[in-house]
Amino acid sequence: MVRPETFLPAARKAALEAGRYLLQGLSQSKKVSYKGQVDLVTSFDRRSEEIIYDRLSRAFPGHSFLAEEEIRHDRASDYCWLVDPLDGTTNYAHGLPVFCVSIALAFKGEIILGVVYDPNRQEIFMAVRGQGANLNGHPIRVSRTRRLDRSLLATGFPYDVRTSRDNNLDHFSNFAVRAQAIRRLGSAALDLCYVACGRFDGYWEKKLKPWDLAAGVLLVEEAGGRVSDLQGKKFKLPGPHVVASNGHIHRPMLEILSLGRVK
């Protein structure tokens, strides 16, 4: 395997370019189409994806590529880029400045590199397997909070929340009366980044896609946190369920999640 940091400059450059493009379009009118009742997509998602694919495929023409909207290229490579060109599309479509670009690289199914760029705050989170995590070049660590009742948590709800009983509302209710507070940003990648840098103490969500999770999961792990599935087993791609924390509150979170588990 080539040293993973070798791929970081290209990933960083692609994330920055796509993020700047999205920021320029935030105040513009948007044509929105729907992939489901509440799952929407804009032309900005697609163009951001094209920008990232163009930059990475030119730099690494033999790599596979898996992105949220339309681009899929399986080149039978050990390397695969997992890209969410606009994580927080609903926010973006409404002009709410909470969204990001998420890029990860996996080698034989293991995440080895992650980049998440928030153009609104000009924050770029980066991690390389075994080399720690940083925010704008400065090392980051998870929080030290040890009690669930003093923890700030984050979560989200699946796109089938209206039609499925397995919609996270039971878990949300259980945590709401046990944690200090819960936030719902609308961007899984940013939620994970905020766990990595200590802004959130823990995060859980269900029914996510690999491109939602890959970069953020690595950031949490490299920042000293713990990531698992809802039963506490080590997280593996493609997910789709995830629990991320500072490690101290992980077991209490798993216990709460077991209370409302849908059979």
The alpha carbons of the chain give a radius of gyration, in whole angstroms, of 17
**Domain segments of the chain as ranges:** 4-139, 148-259
Q: What is the DSSP string of 37-79?
A: SS-EEEHHHHHHHHHHHHHHHHH-TTSEEEESSS-EE--S-SE
pTM: 0.92
* pLDDT tens by residue, the chain, 263 residues: 789 999 999 999 999 999 999 999 898 776 666 655 555 577 888 899 999 999 999 999 999 999 876 666 777 789 999 999 999 999 999 999 999 999 999 999 999 999 999 999 999 999 999 999 999 999 999 999 999 999 999 999 977 668 777 788 899 999 999 999 999 999 999 999 999 999 999 999 999 999 999 999 999 999 999 999 999 999 999 989 999 999 999 999 999 999 855 44
CA distance 86 to 18: 9
Q: Strand, coil or helix: what is 141? A: coil
Would you tell me which CATH number, out of the four given (3.10.110.10, 3.30.590.20, 3.40.190.290, 3.30.540.10), belongs to the domain 4-139? 3.30.540.10
Are 86 and 59 in contact by the 8 Å Cβ rule? The answer is no
Fold of 148-259: D-Maltodextrin-Binding Protein; domain 2 (3.40.190)
